[in-house]
Amino acid sequence: MLRREFNLSLFVREMFRKYYLSHHEFYIPKKLEEREFGFVFFDNGTMHRHISFKNIDELVRYIRKIIPSHVFYSSAYYEYPNADSMNQKGWLGADLIFDIDVDHIPTLCKKYHDSWKCLNCGKEGTGSIDICPFCGSERIKKKTWVCNKCIETAKDETLKLIDFLSEDFGFSHKELEIFFSGHRGFHIHIDKKDVLEMDQDARREIADYIRGVGIDTDFFLKRVQKDLYEYIWSLDSKGWHKRLIRGMYSFLLKMSRDDLMLAGLNSERINILIDKLSVHGPDALNEVVLTLNEWKILFHNAIKEEQCIIDEKVTIDIKRLIRLPDSLHGKTGLRVIKLSYKELENEDVLKKSIVFNDGYIRLYVKRIPEKVLDWKFENVRNKVIDVPMYLGIYLLQNGGDDISLIKIL
């Protein structure tokens, strides 16, 4: 039995303390004095909220005093942000927030680092599932990790979201604040005056539009024969008129004739469509006629190609607590960082978020995923391993009883 030389919570808290004492350029939320703040502590993991600060110096002094594991601030502005009751705070408006989390995005890498166990039948496996394939139960216990592929996938989805916000809603890149969450995704904040007083219904409409919810075929098709319709918009159009034709084209390029027949398209019309696609590209979709059901099949798959997978609950919530940039994520030890569009597009986000670059630690590992952050492990079971400090903190915060701290090297 290996002896643990350190109390894990105290060790991680001490590492966080060193960061907060040495970091001097903290992000300053606009109208900080009108925001509510919330903190999660290392000792009990409970949220302490309804706290406000007059300025950034007061906030930093508080963080350095208590050393939290998580720091949040409200997307909303309040007249009395430290009031104990939400009804007494006096809501003044809220930033428009978008959250992209790779938990909601199907990725192939999950089979290399995520696992599950059915609490009904006891079966277990790798990857991510919602229903047990053996007994059909939804009582699934999941264990999730993050790798650099997860972050890259979430980054691509964030770039897609920015395309929606700029092309369809008219926001400039300068009006968007982009943040890496320090874990599995990204946040985008908009504090433009036009959006601050939007209610939940208006924000829900924006979220639904970005997710492609509620698209009506009547707006896109024209009947040309008794049961046949044509698509009446082109790539020169705006919004979902253009996105649908682009999504249909992308979907069709991936499919064989047999695949399309199995999906429900008529074989003769499939041949005409594929022949035209090979000559005219996406413009061919304006030159064919299909049944209403066939168009619906193409629309369904086009939406899957073009939609952006956001957590709509975050966008709709007008009193949301969101992670404070420059704080550390308590589950990973990574920094929540602000990014320019150029940095998001071109730089290694994971590398930029690492703050514990110095030193190594020794761990005892019962089992570990194949991929974690930017590292790959092969057949590591019941072994002692030495890893960089940033990776070790992440493993300790997520591994539970499977990973023990032995020694700081």
Same domain, 40 and 167: yes
What integer pLDDT is reported at residue 71 of this predicted model? 98
* Residue that is written with structure tokens 């900080």 in the block: 32
Same domain, 231 and 366: no
What integer pLDDT is reported at residue 7 of this predicted model? 74
Single-letter code of the amino acid located at 322: I
Same domain, 251 and 327: no
The string of pLDDT tens digits covering residues 215-270 is 998 899 999 988 999 999 999 999 999 999 999 999 999 998 899 999 888 889 98
What integer pLDDT is reported at residue 106 of this predicted model? 87
The string of pLDDT tens digits covering residues 82-129 is 999 999 999 999 999 999 999 889 899 999 999 999 999 999 999 989
Helix, strand, coil tally for the chain in percent (to 5)? 40, 20, 35
Residue of 320 and 106 predicted with greater confidence: 320
Same domain, 262 and 370: no
Same domain, 173 and 271: no
5 has a pLDDT exceeding 80: no
Nearest 5 degrees, angle CA 221-CA 222-CA 225?
130
Which of 26, 38, 24 shows the shortest CA–CA distance to 75? 38
* Cα dist from 358 to 8, 64, 327, whole Å: 18, 21, 19
Mean pLDDT of 11-19: 95
Same domain, 114 and 98: no
CA distance 206 to 290: 30
Do the beta carbons of residue 173 and residue 277 sit within 8 Å?
no
The string of pLDDT tens digits covering residues 336-367 is 999 999 999 999 999 999 999 999 999 999 98
pTM of the model: 0.92
CA distance 360 to 391: 9
Q: Domain containing 296 — which CATH number? A: 1.10.8
Same domain, 133 and 85: no
Q: Given 306, 338, 372, which residue is the final one in a domain?
A: 306
Same domain, 248 and 317: no
Contacts of residue 97, Cβ cutoff 8 Å, sequence gap at least 6: 75, 187, 188, 189, 190, 314, 315, 317, 320, 322
Print the domain residue range for 96: 29-102+148-209+312-353
Count of domains forming the chain: 4
Same domain, 333 and 203: yes
Beta strand segments in 144-249, E = 177-180, 185-190, 221-223, 229-231
Q: Domain containing 74 — which CATH number? A: 3.90.920.10
Do the beta carbons of residue 240 and residue 265 sit within 8 Å?
no
Q: What is the CA radius of gyration of the chain?
A: 25
Same domain, 84 and 180: yes
Same domain, 98 and 192: yes
Q: What is the DSSP string of 222-234?
A: EE-SSS-EEE---
The one-character DSSP state at 73 is E
Which of 394, 399, 371, 366 shows the shortest CA–CA distance to 126? 371
